[in-house]
Amino acid sequence: MTDEKFDEYKKILEERKALLLRNVQDNEKEISELKRTDARDEADHATISTDSEIERALSAKLMQELKEIDYALFKISNKTYGICEMCEEPIGEARLKVKPQAKYCIVCREIVEKTA
């Protein structure tokens, strides 16, 4: 992969990371607001609890994606980005455009998903 391609994907990943960080902050704010909500009855408590759990689940998913992006940025810095961690072949451009933090090529991803 050329330095220009590394720079292109680095920019994409950094932009996605900034967006995710904003979303995590928004979720944390939402959870805080839900905790301060004055529940009047059991239905209100149930709704607040459910909404809080949904927000926490979303935040956990966002945090996982942030870890994947940080790892991809690390791989860019040491010039190993875009190489499948299983077969060590290049990950296709089409896959990286869809999921720039991909660790596996399409074939290996399917293998990993079937064994997980």
Question: What does the pLDDT average to over 108-114?
Answer: 93
| Single-letter amino acid code for the residue at 49 | S
Residues 39-94 pLDDT 10s: 566 665 566 666 667 777 777 888 999 999 999 999 999 999 999 999 999 999 99
Largest CA distance in the chain: 61
What is the pLDDT confidence band of residue 115, given thresholds at 50, 70 and 90?
confident
> What digits encode the pLDDT tens for the residues 10-48?
999 999 999 999 988 887 777 677 666 665 666 655 666
Sign of torsion over alpha carbons 51, 55, 56, 60: positive
